[in-house]
Amino acid sequence: MHICNYSLLFIPNFLRIPNICCTFAPKLRNSTTMRSIIITGGAGFIGSHVVRLFVNKYPEYRIINVDKLTYAGNLANLRDIEDKPNYRFVKADICDFDTIYRLMQEEQVTGIIHLAAESHVDRSIKDPFTFARTNVMGTLSMLQAAKLYWETLPEKYEGKRFYHISTDEVYGALEMTHPDGIEPPFTTKASSGSQHLAYGDKFFTEDLKYQPHSPYSASKASSDHFVRAFHDTYGLPTIVTNCSNNYGPYQFPEKLIPLFINNIRHRRALPVYGQGLNVRDWLYVEDHARAIDLIFHKGTVAETYNIGGFNEWKNIDIVKVLIRTTDRLLGRKEDEDMNLITYVTDRAGHDMRYAIDSRKLQRELGWEPTLQFEEGIEKTVRWYLDNQAWMDNITSGDYEKYYEEMYRNR
Ligand SMILES: NC(=O)c1ccc[n+]([C@@H]2O[C@H](COP(=O)([O-])OP(=O)(O)OC[C@H]3O[C@@H](n4cnc5c(N)ncnc54)[C@H](O)[C@@H]3O)[C@@H](O)[C@H]2O)c1
């Protein structure tokens, strides 16, 4: 049964568990000494960093990466750990309830870290159905499978955890009340050394009302509500985190940073939306993975934590940093490629400013980002330049067609 067939007629079929139980007897494993964790979306950008961290840091855990391998999923992101004995990859759709339920039984799963999603706002504007399917119905399928499987166990929810990874975009847009920037109210090691500014007085805090604007953020908001509803209704031990923009190695090159590094390298135009004034908070992806590790183990059930970089940037300023860094690393003249900047029609409904206040996480669990922004950007640019084969492999196929469709005639 596939939960994402749009007909609600399928939903009562969740109750067909006895069949599933008979057909798939769980393998014997000493579950008291081993944690068995499903990480969904582990072949994607953030998921691959989370899988790598868990596989390397916890050899006593069993890590099962469940990924459908959409255009955004790439097993090459995990070459270095694919042969580890505590790692298993399962190609599956999170909407496929039967398969997910069987897998949970077979692997005696005790924890879920749910990252699988459609994640690109521009794609959600063109095709909102796919986002509702994967992000809403897929999350519901994961929740229902976890609930039903864990309820069959004598200890039920004891020692279990369903951790849902979400985005700060669910909070909607903040106003840019200080277009030239002011001194921010908080700072960490990760904040930029040269340009540490806040562009408004307000920040996203965990108690803020959800006001999503794009089909992507609406689908993530909906999935967050389902996760909390499963806690409030059934007692499922859930946690939700909402994170700001991530950057770093292995990001699919439709997103700003890898897209622009690759374009600068090939001296292709850099399509900047509107005037490039939109503000985002940026966090190095490994710092996000570290936060996920900490929250999965030490976070309080039913809580929400915001994760951010304390690091606001206007898009146009990020683009200039990328040009300078890439040109320097390629041995080109300073600012030689500034003329690649091309302003294109703004994204529909483009949120002006996102800025995360993640002091709750700092206060309660002691997490802070570690990598200072300029260091992180340099590390990232260097990685993409050093891994051209990875990039070429991705950009050679359908991606080129998609790129033409998105940016032609804008
Ligand atoms: N990238 C960011 O800056 C950012 C920031 C905050 C939160 N998030 C959230 O983090 C999560 C991961 O984001 P990302 O940037 O790594 O995304 P990504 O697009 O790089 O990866 C998504 C992964 O999910 C897989 N997937 C998609 N649909 C699936 C399905 N139906 N079944 C199984 N697997 C499926 C894809 O194959 C891919 O491997 C998402 O939930 C996203 O909303 C991302």
Of 327, 337, 341, which is closest to residue 273 (Cα–Cα)? 341
- Helix, strand, coil percent content, the chain, rounded in steps of 5: 45, 15, 40
Q: What is the mean pLDDT of the chain?
A: 90
CA 33 to centroid of ligand 1, rounded, Å: 30
402 CB-side CA count, 13 A: 18
Does residue 258 form part of some domain? no
Q: For the chain, first and last CA: distance in Å? A: 41
CA 332 to centroid of ligand 1, rounded, Å: 34
What is the pLDDT, as a whole number, of residue 22?
33
State mean pLDDT over 310-319.
94
Q: In which region does residue 302 sit, left (phi positive, over 0), alpha (psi from -120 to 50) or beta (all else)? A: left
| CATH number of domain containing 301 | 3.40.50.720
What is the pLDDT, as a whole number, of residue 349?
84
10 — pLDDT class (breaks 50, 70, 90): very low
Higher pLDDT, 97 or 403: 97
What is the pLDDT, as a whole number, of residue 15?
35
CA 48 to centroid of ligand 1, rounded, Å: 10
What is the pLDDT, as a whole number, of residue 403?
67
* Spatial distance between the Cα atoms of 237 and 231, rounded to a whole number of angstroms: 6
Does residue 172 form part of some domain? yes
And the tokens for 378?
């340099």
And the tokens for 66?
């469940």
* Spatial distance between the Cα atoms of 218 and 212, rounded to a whole number of angstroms: 5
- Does an H or E element contain 36, and which? strand 36-40
What is the pLDDT, as a whole number, of residue 7?
39
Determine if ligand 1 sits within 6 Å of the CB of residue 41. Answer: yes
Evaluate if residue 29 carries a pLDDT over 50. no
- DSSP codes joined into one string, 216-250: HHHHHHHHHHHHHHHHHHH---EEEEEE-EEESTT
Counting ligand 1 atoms within 8 A of each CB, the residue from 39, 98, 115, 283 with the most, and so the one to mutate, is: 115
Does residue 26 form part of some domain? yes
- Give residue-wise pLDDT tens across range 188-238: 887 877 889 999 999 999 999 999 999 999 999 999 999 999 999 999 999
Does residue 257 form part of some domain? no
Determine if ligand 1 sits within 6 Å of the CB of residue 356. Answer: no
State mean pLDDT over 66-86.
95
Of 156, 145, 158, which is closest to residue 21 (Cα–Cα)? 145
Q: Whose CA is nearest to atom 22 of ligand 1?
A: 44
Phi, then psi, of 239 in degrees rounded to 5: -140, 145
SS3 of residue 84 by DSSP: coil
Does residue 216 form part of some domain? yes
Helices (H), 82-159: 97-107, 121-126, 128-131, 138-151
- Give residue-wise pLDDT tens across range 363-381: 999 999 999 999 999 999 9
Does residue 300 form part of some domain? yes
Determine if ligand 1 sits within 6 Å of the CB of residue 212. Answer: no
SS3 of residue 162 by DSSP: strand
What is the pLDDT, as a whole number, of residue 142?
98
Evaluate if residue 25 carries a pLDDT over 80. no
State mean pLDDT over 274-289.
96
* Spatial distance between the Cα atoms of 364 and 294, rounded to a whole number of angstroms: 11
Determine if ligand 1 sits within 6 Å of the CB of residue 99. Answer: no
Does residue 378 form part of some domain? no
State mean pLDDT over 56-72.
97
The parent domain of residue 121 ranges over 8-250+282-313+352-373
Given a contact cutoff of 8 angstroms between Cβ atoms, the answer to whether 135 and 117 are in contact is yes
Number of domains in the chain: 1
- Give residue-wise pLDDT tens across range 118-176: 999 999 999 999 999 999 999 999 999 999 999 999 999 999 999 999 999 999 999 99
What is the pLDDT, as a whole number, of residue 346?
86
Higher pLDDT, 193 or 296: 296
Given a contact cutoff of 8 angstroms between Cβ atoms, the answer to whether 354 and 306 are in contact is no
CA 75 to centroid of ligand 1, rounded, Å: 14
What is the pLDDT, as a whole number, of residue 127?
96
Alpha-carbon torsion (258, 260, 263, 267), positive or negative:
negative
* Spatial distance between the Cα atoms of 105 and 99, rounded to a whole number of angstroms: 10
Determine if ligand 1 sits within 6 Å of the CB of residue 70. Answer: yes
Evaluate if residue 62 carries a pLDDT over 50. yes
Residue type, 79: R
Determine if ligand 1 sits within 6 Å of the CB of residue 73. Answer: yes
The catalytic residue positions are: 168-169, 216
Q: Whose CA is nearest to atom 21 of ligand 1?
A: 44
Does residue 80 form part of some domain? yes
Given a contact cutoff of 8 angstroms between Cβ atoms, the answer to whether 310 and 188 are in contact is yes
Evaluate if residue 12 carries a pLDDT over 60. no
- Give residue-wise pLDDT tens across range 326-343: 999 999 998 899 999 999
Q: Which atom of ligand 1 is least distant from the CA of 245?
A: 3
1 — pLDDT class (breaks 50, 70, 90): low
